Structure 1
Amino acid sequence: MKTCPDVDIKESEFMEVFKLTDNYMISGDILNLNVGRRALLAVFKAVYF
């Protein structure tokens, strides 16, 4: 598994977000990853090419 080459982030730190996530919410093109009831860990937006 690899993150995008043009993103300046350590892959291990990126993957840690998925280990910590225990719930998520999808709203349109937005994916929110959360831990607990309201602690937001990451937000992803769909990009269409």
Structure 2
Amino acid sequence: MSSSSQQRHRHGVTKNLVEGIGGVLVGAALVLLMRGIVKRRAAEKPAADRKNP
């Protein structure tokens, strides 16, 4: 029975690592997406100001 519990524990650790890595990747993707949106808005704002004096 001890080998079964060790295998289950090892699987739990692997699952936690995979979920953690996935969370980091999703978080990084959200940061990059938000940064792109902010940069696009900042680039559009001066152009709009120049068109309407």
- Whichever of the two has the greater Rg, that structure is 2
Higher strand fraction: Structure 1 or Structure 2? 1
Higher helix fraction: Structure 1 or Structure 2? 2
Q: Same fold (TM over 0.5)?
A: no
Return the TM-score normalized by structure 2.
0.24
Return the TM-score normalized by structure 1.
0.26
